[in-house]
Amino acid sequence: MDYKKAGVDIEAGYASVELMKEHVKKTFRPEVLGGIGGFSGAFSLEKIKNMEDPVLLSGTDGCGTKVKLAFLLDKHDTIGIDAVAMCVNDVACAGGEPLFFLDYIACGKNYPEKIANIVKGVAEGCIQAGCALVGGETAEHPGLMPEDEYDLAGFSVGVVEKKDLITGADIKPGDTLVGIASSGVHSNGFSLVRKVFEMTTESLNTYYEELGTTLGEALIAPTRIYVKALKSVKDAGVRIKGCSHITGGGFYENIPRMLPEGIVAEVKKSSYEVPQIFRLIAKKGDISEEMMYNTFNMGVGMVLCVDPSDAEATIDALKAAGENAFVIGTAKAGEKGVEIC
């Protein structure tokens, strides 16, 4: 008896590391110390020493049951972008610059090419966010997970000057809410999506005229990473008062997280076009409008709150960064929460 016969292939682990090295190296920043394969990732804080009052930020998350979609489509090169996005967008929400990222892949069996493909996506997400992939772990769990399945999670650390922290504390009535378009369902609500649609290869490969693509392609689209877009707003001289990453819980749970007491966010549904994928989900699943806004991002991946005088500059900066942005509502006096009208 040996470890391989017990279900853990150490040689496959070595092969995975070799295959992923080229992707990981592309993410390295000057602050990364050492190479790949050490027991920990080293990141120099030399630049942070020059900051006035640095604050470290952190975020951890996974892709939820969206990984099930990757299994069915046998497409594993973008799910890593989702894992990165879910973490770095949260760091960016507080005004921070993501510095580095670590991933954790748990699998039933280590297929080196598949693991390397997953990490390729993680590396692409890190490149989009401007952070370094400094480490990770691939854990083989025979008997605990099916051989062809895996789960993926990540952890990011960022930094921000304390004076630049986005807290929402000084949001006041009359401030403007700016929405940044999502790339689709992102990584939330897939437990509901999997109940609405039959999760088979045939169903996912079905072409929908209104989507302009197959169902699977529409659903697997990776989560948008907004790090550089928010930096563009800051570089334009705009002070973001509040920022909300629209993830699990949709509008109703996430927008209030950026609001102080005594402020309600009024969101106008007519202010932008809800993407067809959400209309299709609602129709096929007979899901109420309130539940849709309470589950999905509905086409808005992030909401910013700015002074009305900064709204135009904010949208211009976001568009210059390649984002589609629009005014979606206003902050007003009232019980803390969201009104969608």
Q: Write out pLDDT tens, residues 47-101.
A: 899 999 999 999 999 999 999 999 999 999 999 999 999 999 999 999 999 999 9
What superfamily does domain 176-340 belong to in CATH?
Answer: PurM-like C-terminal domain (3.90.650.10)
Q: Which stretch of 23-32, 97-106, 276-285, 287-296 has the lowest confidence by average pLDDT?
A: 23-32
Report pLDDT digits (tens) over 215-227. 999 999 999 999 9
The 3 state secondary structure assigned to the chain is CCCCCCCCCHHHHHHHHHHHHHHHHCCCCCCEECCCCCCCCEECCCCHHHCCCEEEEEEEEECCCHHHHHHHHCCCCCHHHHHHHHHHHHHHHCCCEEEEEEEEEEECCCCHHHHHHHHHHHHHHHHHHCCEEEEEEEEECECCECCCCEEEEEEEEEEEEHHHCCCCCCCCCCCEEEEEECCCCCCCCHHHHHHHCCCCHHHHCCEECCCCEEHHHHHHCCCCCCHHHHHHHHHCCCCCCEEEECCCCHHHHHHHHHCCCCEEEEECHHHCCCCHHHHHHHHHHCCCHHHHHCCCCCCEEEEEEECHHHHHHHHHHHHHCCCCEEEEEEEEECCCEEEEC
**Domain boundaries of the chain, sorted by first residue:** 10-164, 176-340
Report the percentage of the chain scoring pLDDT > 90.
87
Average pLDDT over residues 286-297: 97
pLDDT of residue 6: 54
Q: Which residue did the predictor score with more confidence, 266 or 6? A: 266
pTM: 0.94
State the chain's mean pLDDT as an integer: 94
* CATH 3.30.70.260 holds for 10-164: no
